[in-house]
Amino acid sequence: MIKIRGKFIKEKHLKYIGHLDMMRLFDRAFRRSNIPISYSQGFNPQPKISFATALPLGVESYGEYFDVELKEKMDIIKFINALNNQLPDCIKILKAVYVEDKKSIMALIKWSTYIAEVKLINKMSKQELVKQIDYFMNLEEILITKEKQKKGRTKKTRIDIRELIKKLDILDYDDKKIIFKTTLKTGSEGNLKPTVLINSIDEYTNIKLNKDSIKIQRLELFIENDGNIIPPI
């Protein structure tokens, strides 16, 4: 198996295209670039491309990843240039390497780092903001309510998200807004959206936030290796 792992950005107006549309966009780009991509067998062959994790609609990212299988090896620089020539300006391949990992990139991802900017409803000093975030991060449990439709009925479940929050820092603030940097659980073993985190901060602390004003960027995705979190490439 010949597999390349690539890192790309998704920004500006293309943050509003969904995951399925992005997959189709990459499929077309690979076809037009003449990269010797492998396809599945059967009546409806599909390109052997897998993406790390779906990015929420409206979120920019500077650290998205994909795996692609090739029929034969090619120069990495030629691979990157050929693909970038077919992709729109707001999606760009930053890096690519050959990998021997048999696990899919989707199965490997464990954490994401985000920046979240949100407007403040009540003015607070930096000292008080830090105090409230320390209080929040020292809570033994942070419960949220999840709703699920089943047989025409809404089932509500209380879930503890504390273990899904690895890190939460105040990156910047003023009288009108606060910017958080946070590392959250991502992937099949647990997944926490930054909007849910913001809602929980508003609920559990004295920091009152305008939840309709949230702007989010994903900075990086991480895998775990010997207890450490590191980028996939």
Residues 120 and 94 in one domain: no
Where in the sequence is the domain holding 185, given as residue range(s)?
Answer: 110-230
Domain boundary among 67, 102, 137: 102
Residues 55 and 152 in one domain: no
pTM above 0.85, yes or no: yes
Residues 114 and 80 in one domain: no
Residues 221 and 139 in one domain: yes
Over residues 121-136, the mean pLDDT reads 93
The C-alpha torsion from 54 through 100 and 63 to 95, rounded to 10°, is -130
Domain containing residue 144: CATH number: 3.30.70.3190
Residues 52 and 134 in one domain: no
Are 116 and 194 in contact by the 8 Å Cβ rule? The answer is: yes
Nearest to 63 by CA among 170, 226, 218: 218
Q: Would you give the DSSP letter of residue 59?
A: -
Q: Measuring CA to CA, how many Å separate 108 from each of 9, 48, 64, 67?
A: 19, 17, 13, 11
pLDDT over 90 percentage in the chain: 75
Cα–Cα distance measured from residue 53 to residue 67, given in angstroms and rounded to the nearest whole number: 12
pLDDT over 70 percentage in the chain: 100
pLDDT at 149: 75
Cα–Cα distance measured from residue 143 to residue 140, given in angstroms and rounded to the nearest whole number: 10
Residue-wise pLDDT for 33-42, tens only, equals 999 999 888 7
Which H or E run includes 228?
Answer: strand 228-230
pLDDT at 154: 79
Residues 8 and 77 in one domain: yes
